[in-house]
A = this chain, B = another copy of it.
Amino acid sequence: MRAWEVAESFGRDNLRLVDRPDPHPGAGELLLRLRAASLNYRDLLMVEGRYNPKQPLPLVPCSDGVGEVIAVGAGVRGFAAGDRVCPTFAPRWLAGEPDRERLRTVVRPPQHLSDAEAAALPCAAVTAWSALVEQGRLRAGETVLVLGTGGVALFALQIALLHGARVIVTSSSDAKLERVRSMGAWETVNYAREKAWGKRVRELSGDGVDHVVEVGGAGTLPESLRAVRMGGTVHLIGVLAGGEASLLLAPIFMQQVRVQGVLVGPKSSFEALNRALAQHEVRPVVDHTFAFEEVPAAFDHMAAGAHFGKICIAIP
């Protein structure tokens, strides 16, 4: 079995392609041959040692992917060799190890998706669904603010459109804003030009948006709180723009805002997501699919920040 690992010290330059012994599935386990993986921003942070500096090494990065069942452990029902499945979110599985969680953490991705597209789902898409649909009970006619054009953001756009909501997207790139418009975004705001973008979004939406898909954290939360309507929800999903906010709390309780932390979601959310994607033949936006040998280049591409959609890796 081959794997990319960060062995001796953190850093993209320290990714090494290594051989590891072939694993065998224990009781209640499945062994998968991975076909594709996808990168999350967290993976980049992990490789660079910024996610958890105390993370023991070697580290096999990435959590998301899709694979084919090649061996079935004792006591496993419902799966057979040849099935295409996505593990649900669980760190370190790119090492080719079968899912160490319960069996229920494997789901069958929609058939219309390529391997790269299926590999894009586990973290980002489930998180967006969990936030807007499960926690947020999104309904037609509502307005959703999506920050940026990363993985969670584009899934949130697609999921919101599926439910008949209208979506406002922010970005510092007019080209990216043009692309989200072509995907169905109702309005866009270039936050590089429009510093007070929270106020701008509030005006566009009338009384403020019903939902904010907040991935920026400290750097964006104050403006997000300006954009959200009284009684609306800020889905706090990530801290791309900083983890420590100097935050005025009065708007939260005066406006009765809900700030809801969201971290992926259960298998049932993943399955409900898949059902909706399948019915409407929605495809994840894949920016680029790198070959397995190009994993370091894939991380460099994420670090450069110019991508639009998921960065995927094909595994031969």
Residues of chain B with a CB closer than 8 A to A26's CB: 74-75
- For the complex formed, measure the closest distance between the CB of A293 and the CB atoms of chain B, giving whole angstroms: 33
Decide if A140 touches B263 in the complex (CB within 8 Å): no
Copies of this chain, whole number: 4
Decide if A276 touches B243 in the complex (CB within 8 Å): no
The answer to whether the Cβ of A22 comes within 8 Å of any Cβ in the partner chain is no
- A residues 104-161 touching B (CB-CB < 8 Å): 104, 133, 137-142, 159
Q: Contact string, A12-29, partner B, CB cutoff 8 A, digits 1/0? A: 000000000000001111
Of the 9-residue stretches A85-93, A174-182, A231-239, which lies at the interface with chain B?
A: A231-239
- For the complex formed, measure the closest distance between the CB of A163 and the CB atoms of chain B, giving whole angstroms: 5
Of the 9-residue stretches A53-61, A195-203, A253-261, A296-304, which lies at the interface with chain B?
A: A253-261
- For the complex formed, measure the closest distance between the CB of A284 and the CB atoms of chain B, giving whole angstroms: 15
- For the complex formed, measure the closest distance between the CB of A253 and the CB atoms of chain B, giving whole angstroms: 4
The answer to whether the Cβ of A252 comes within 8 Å of any Cβ in the partner chain is yes
The answer to whether the Cβ of A1 comes within 8 Å of any Cβ in the partner chain is no
- A residues 196-229 touching B (CB-CB < 8 Å): 217-218, 221
Q: How far is the CA of A188 from the CA of B121 in the complex (A)?
A: 32
The answer to whether the Cβ of A245 comes within 8 Å of any Cβ in the partner chain is yes
Q: How far is the CA of A104 from the CA of B103 in the complex (A)?
A: 12
Cβ-defined partner of A75 (8 Å) among B74, B166, B273: B74
Cβ-defined partner of A263 (8 Å) among B142, B254, B272, B280: B254
Decide if A221 touches B249 in the complex (CB within 8 Å): yes
Decide if B159 touches A140 in the complex (CB within 8 Å): yes
The answer to whether A27 and B246 touch (CB under 8 A), given A141-B275, A256-B263, A261-B258, is no
Q: How far is the CA of A244 from the CA of B246 in the complex (A)?
A: 7
The answer to whether the Cβ of A285 comes within 8 Å of any Cβ in the partner chain is no
Closest B residue by C-beta to A29: B75
Decide if A166 touches B279 in the complex (CB within 8 Å): yes
Query: Assuming A138-B139, A141-B278, A239-B250, what are 11 further A-B pairs, CB within 8 angstroms?
Result: A27-B27, A27-B74, A140-B280, A162-B164, A164-B279, A166-B279, A221-B249, A236-B252, A239-B253, A253-B262, A257-B261
